[in-house]
C-alpha cells in the first residue's frame, strides 16, 4: 500500500482530495488539526506519533522533524542500499506529501500583528518536508497547491501514480513555494530591523497575469504582484469595463496614478507615454478636465486619464467625445459609467484613493546583470520652505502656482520643464538630452497662453543661464528649481536682469 502524509493549514477541498487518495490505495498519515478534520469526515488516518514513535513537543513546533518521516521521503527507490536501510530500520516509504504552510503572509497582513505572532507562524517542519519530497521528486509526489489536487488525483485514478512529468513540475513548484515563503519572512524581519542594505536581497512576487505581449509585439511579458498587495495600485484596481490592459497600459496607468496622488483639489492628469501631456485643476472635476484637455488637445488623444474625484455625468460626457485608452478614478456615478461604457474598448478602472497615503515600498528596476532598488519619490514639500534667491520676490499666488508646476514636473521624464499657470499645465518638455531643448518644447506648446500668471518648474538645476534667459524672453515671470549648480549665481544674475522671481527648493526630482 502506498503512503501519503497530509498536513495543511488551508483545508479547502482537503476532504475530497484525501478521500480520493484513500479510495485509490493510499494509507493516510496526518497531524493535528488536519487529522481531526479527516477523522471527522470518516477517513481513516494514522497519527504522526505512530510513525515517528515520538510525541509532538514544544507546542507542536517539533512533530515531523524525524528520520521516520524524512527517511521515508528521501530514500531513492532505485538504490538498493537506501531501501535496505529503510527495511532494516523499519521505515515505511512515503510516496506523496500534501503540505501547505503556516499562514505567515495572512498573519503579518493583520494591522495589529505582533512580532511574537509572526514568529509563531513561521513554519519549520512543513518546508522541511516539502524540500525533502521535492528533492526526491522522481519517487515522491509533492503537492503544495490546492489547484493541483484535481490533476494529481486524476492521474492516480488513471495510472495508480502520478507521471514523472507531473512530479517534476510539482517538485519545481514546491521549491518556488518554499523560496517565496522564506523570502517573505526575510523581508518582514529585515524591515523590522530597519536594515536598508542587507547583504542579500530576497524578493518574491505572485504571478497575476500573462500579458499578450510586452512593450512590442515580439516581446513576451508577465505581470507579477507583491504578495502583500498595495490597495492604491493599478494592480489592485477594479476594472469595471473594457478590454484587458496591456504592458504599456499598465506602465502609463501607474505613472498617471503616481502623478494624480500629488494633488488634493479636483485634478485631472492626462498621461501619454509615461509623461503628463496635461494636468488641470479646478473647483469641479469638469472644470479640471476642461483645463487638462486644453493643455494639449492633440497629445491627449489615446491617453490615460487619472482623476482624483468620482467621475460625474458632465465630465463623462466630455471625455467620451475623444479616444482615450484608460480612465482611472475613485469611482463613477451610475449615469457617468453608462455614458462611458458605450465605448466598447475603453478601460474604466476604480482605485481605492483612501489608501493613497499608505507608506510606500521600495521600487526595483532591472539592469543587465542585476537590479537597482530605491525608495519611491513621495517627498511631501511645502513652498514655505523654499528660498527666494532673486531681488524680485514671488507673490503668494505665484508660490502656489509654482507648487502646482513643481508637482507636475516631478512626474515628467528628465530633463523636465513644465510651464503652467494656476489652473493647468501650459507646456511640458521632457526627456531631452539638454534642458534648453525641453524648455523650448514647453514654451512652444504654451504659445500665446503665457501671460503674467505663468511660472516655470525645472526638475533639476540649470547648468547655464540660457534657460533663465529664454524663459524671461518669452514672458515667464517666476521660476522654481532645485539649485545646486556651481553656476547658480549666473542663473540668479540673469533672473535679476530679466525681472524674474526665482526660488530654489534644495530638492531635485529626476524621473528617468
Rounded Cα distance, 289 and 315, in Å: 7
| Rounded alpha-carbon distances, angstroms, from residue 152 to 100, 170, 487 | 15, 10, 70
Residue with the three cell numbers 483639489: 265
Rounded Cα distance, 327 and 311, in Å: 9
273 noted as active-site residue: yes
For the chain, give me the number of helices (H) and strands (E)?
18, 21
Contacts of 474 (CB under 8 A, 6+ apart): 443, 450
Contacts of 170 (CB under 8 A, 6+ apart): 134, 137, 141, 142, 143, 144, 148, 152, 162
SS3 letters for 164-225? HHHHHHHHHHHHHHHHHHHHHHHHHHHHHCCCCCCCCCCCCCEEEEECCCCCCCCCCCEEEE
Rounded Cα distance, 225 and 340, in Å: 28
Rounded Cα distance, 370 and 277, in Å: 32
SS3 letters for 43-66? CCCEEHHHHHCCCCECCCCECCCC
| Rounded alpha-carbon distances, angstroms, from residue 370 to 82, 366, 374, 423, 512 | 42, 6, 14, 43, 17
Nearest by Cα to 17 from 32, 34, 304: 34
Contacts of 84 (CB under 8 A, 6+ apart): none
- Confirm if 279 and 424 have CB atoms less than 8 A apart: yes
Query: 82, 230, 251, 273: which is the annotated catalytic residue?
Result: 273
Query: 135, 208, 251, 343: which is the annotated catalytic residue?
Result: 135
Residue with the three cell numbers 517666476: 478
| Rounded alpha-carbon distances, angstroms, from residue 443 to 227, 401, 428, 466, 470 | 44, 17, 8, 14, 9
Q: Which residues are catalytic?
A: 135, 273
Amino acid at each position: 500500500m502506498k503512503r501519503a502524509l497530509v498536513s495543511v493549514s488551508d483545508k479547502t477541498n482537503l476532504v475530497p482530495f484525501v478521500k480520493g487518495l484513500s479510495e485509490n490505495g493510499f494509507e493516510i498519515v496526518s497531524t493535528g488539526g488536519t487529522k481531526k478534520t479527516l477523522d471527522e469526515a470518516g477517513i481513516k488516518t494514522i497519527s504522526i506519533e505512530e510513525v515517528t514513535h515520538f510525541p509532538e513537543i514544544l507546542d507542536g513546533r517539533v512533530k515531523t522533524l524525524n528520520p521516520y518521516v524524512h527517511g521515508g521521503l528521501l530514500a531513492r527507490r532505485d538504490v538498493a542500499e537506501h531501501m535496505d536501510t529503510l527495511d532494516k530500520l523499519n521505515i515505511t516509504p512515503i510516496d506523496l506529501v500534501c503540505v501547505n504552510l503556516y499562514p505567515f503572509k495572512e498573519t503579518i497582513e493583520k494591522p495589529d500583528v505582533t512580532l511574537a505572532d509572526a514568529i509563531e507562524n513561521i513554519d519549520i517542519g512543513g518546508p522541511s518536508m516539502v524540500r525533502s519530497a521535492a528533492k526526491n521528486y522522481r519517487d515522491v509526489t509533492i503537492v503544495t497547491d490546492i489547484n493541483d489536487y484535481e490533476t494529481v488525483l486524476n492521474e492516480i485514478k488513471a495510472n495508480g501514480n502520478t507521471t514523472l512529468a507531473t512530479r517534476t513540475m510539482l517538485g519545481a513548484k514546491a521549491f518556488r513555494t518554499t523560496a517565496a515563503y522564506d523570502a517573505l519572512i526575510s523581508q518582514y524581519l529585515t524591515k523590522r530591523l530597519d536594515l536598508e542594505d542587507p547583504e542579500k536581497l530576497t524578493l518574491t512576487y505572485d504571478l497575476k497575469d500573462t500579458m499578450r505581449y510586452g512593450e512590442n509585439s515580439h516581446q513576451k511579458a508577465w505581470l507579477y504582484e507583491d504578495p502583500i498587495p498595495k490597495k492604491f495600485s493599478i494592480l489592485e484596481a477594479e476594472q469595471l469595463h473594457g478590454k484587458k490592459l496591456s504592458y504599456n497600459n499598465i506602465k502609463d496607468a501607474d505613472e498617471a496614478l503616481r502623478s494624480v496622488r500629488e494633488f488634493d483639489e479636483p485634478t485631472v492628469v492626462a498621461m501619454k507615454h509615461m509623461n503628463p501631456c496635461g494636468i488641470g485643476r479646478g473647483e469641479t472635476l469638469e472644470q479640471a478636465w476642461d483645463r487638462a484637455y486644453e493643455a494639449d488637445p492633440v497629445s491627449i488623444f489615446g491617453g490615460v486619464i487619472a482623476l482624483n474625484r468620482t467621475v460625474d455625468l458632465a465630465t463623462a460626457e466630455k471625455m467620451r467625445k475623444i479616444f482615450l485608452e484608460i480612465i482611472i478614478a475613485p469611482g463613477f456615478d451610475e449615469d457617468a459609467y453608462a455614458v462611458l461604457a458605450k465605448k466598447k474598448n475603453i478601460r474604466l478602472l476604480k482605485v481605492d484613493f483612501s489608501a493613497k497615503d499608505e507608506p510606500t515600498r521600495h521600487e526595483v528596476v532591472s539592469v543587465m546583470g542585476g537590479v537597482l532598488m530605491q525608495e519611491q519619490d513621495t517627498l511631501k514639500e511645502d513652498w514655505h520652505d523654499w528660498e527666494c534667491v532673486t531681488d524680485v520676490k514671488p507673490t503668494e499666488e505665484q508660490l502656489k502656482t509654482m507648487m502646482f508646476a513643481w508637482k507636475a514636473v516631478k512626474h515628467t521624464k528628465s530633463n523636465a520643464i513644465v510651464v503652467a499657470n494656476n489652473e493647468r499645465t501650459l507646456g511640458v518638455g521632457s526627456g531631452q538630452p539638454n534642458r534648453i531643448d525641453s524648455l523650448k518644447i514647453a514654451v512652444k506648446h504654451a504659445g500665446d497662453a503665457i501671460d503674467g500668471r505663468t511660472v516655470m518648474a525645472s526638475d533639476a538645476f540649470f547648468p547655464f543661464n540660457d534657460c533663465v534667459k529664454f524663459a524671461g524672453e518669452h514672458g515667464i515671470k517666476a521660476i522654481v528649481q532645485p539649485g545646486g549648480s556651481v553656476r547658480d549665481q549666473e542663473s540668479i544674475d540673469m533672473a535679476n536682469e530679466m525681472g524674474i522671481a526665482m526660488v530654489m527648493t534644495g530638492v531635485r526630482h529626476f524621473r528617468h
